[in-house]
Amino acid sequence: MKFIAQKYVVHLFTIIQKIMTNPFVQKATILSVFFLLTFLSAKSQEVPFYRAEIGIQLGGNIYAGDANTIARKNFFSQNLNNLQADFGAFFRYKFNPRVALRLGYDYTGVSGPYKYANAGEEYVISLDNKGIGALDLWAEYNFFDYEKNNYKRTSRTFSPYVFAGLGYLNMANSQAEKASAFTVPYGVGVKIIIAPRWNLNLQWTNRLLLADNLEGLPEYDNPLPQTKSNFLNHDLLSGVSVGVSFDIWQKECDCNGVGGGGIRAKSKRPLNNSKPKR
């Protein structure tokens, strides 16, 4: 287990390094810095609690499977040049400041020349499985109470989170016998309230296929060459993304003297602190 964990840590940092050198992602990083500066300037403002969010995201994905295994780090590093753009949209329903349910759709692909080794021989295969649609439904858990509430000590305007769920991939241009697969999406991320009703999401997502057909070619389906990126011998789609979401559906007052999920309601009668006349 320790060896597997080390491989995934190396896998994560290698992906981040390659993604950050991509011009497209660099522009997204500049945009993220802008949002962070906006967050700092709006930090003192009260933000009501909203039940849901709608948003968009962009990032980059890399495939790990028969033609790109983490076990061969030198090949895997070269294959990161095949990083594919990811565009997505999502809806998030928040049960409370800690737990949420997210429904999302992403459009990405697997493409480019991949170098790999099998039985001591080195090979290069050109993959062209573009037009992959990923539909995901997962549950999220925030480590902090994600809300801006000055009357609640545990509330934070940022929170790391973990997520896991179920998904479905549709591969429109696949030449494999089966052009779809169910997935198990999981990962980690950070949410930040950057302004009233606006959120920034930084996320690392893994989609573990319950199949071995992400290459889009029938000869790379099970059983050989074997996928060594995970113990199930299934393909994996990993990526980092930056998302922006907008709060909708404001929560109404649910307690005396508190409105909108944490904003203290204003009294209709002015307070009179003067002493009564005798």
Structural domain harbouring 240: 2-264
- 166, part of any domain: yes
- 270, part of any domain: no
- 186, part of any domain: yes
- In the predicted structure, residue 55 carries a pLDDT above the cut 60: yes
Domain count within the chain: 1
Mean pLDDT of 56-69: 89
Of the candidate ranges 20-24, 82-86, 138-142, 150-154, the one whose mean pLDDT is the lowest: 20-24
pLDDT at 66: 81
Q: Are 64 and 3 in contact (CB under 8 A)?
A: no
Could you read off the pLDDT of 240-251 as tens digits, one per residue? Answer: 999 999 999 887
Query: Which stretches of the chain are DSSP H helices?
Result: 2-20, 23-41, 73-79
Mapping DSSP onto H, E and C, the string for 154-166 reads CEECEEEEEEEEE
Buried b (16+ CB within 10 A) or exposed e, 36-54: eeebeebeeeebbbbbbbe
7: left (phi over 0), alpha (psi -120 to 50) or beta: alpha
- 115, part of any domain: yes
Tokens 């990993």 sit at which residue?
238
- 76, part of any domain: yes
- 275, part of any domain: no
- 272, part of any domain: no
pLDDT at 188: 98
CATH number at residue 189: 2.40.160.20
Overall pTM surpassing 0.85 (yes/no): no
Structure tokens at 152: 């609640």
Could you read off the pLDDT of 169-207 as tens digits, one per residue? Answer: 999 988 888 889 999 999 999 999 999 899 999 999 999
CB atoms within 10 A of CB 107: 14
Q: Where are the beta strands (DSSP E) in the chain?
A: 50-64, 84-94, 99-118, 121-142, 145-146, 155-156, 158-171, 180-195, 198-209, 236-250, 258-259, 263-264
pLDDT at 202: 97
- 276, part of any domain: no
- In the predicted structure, residue 166 carries a pLDDT above the cut 90: yes
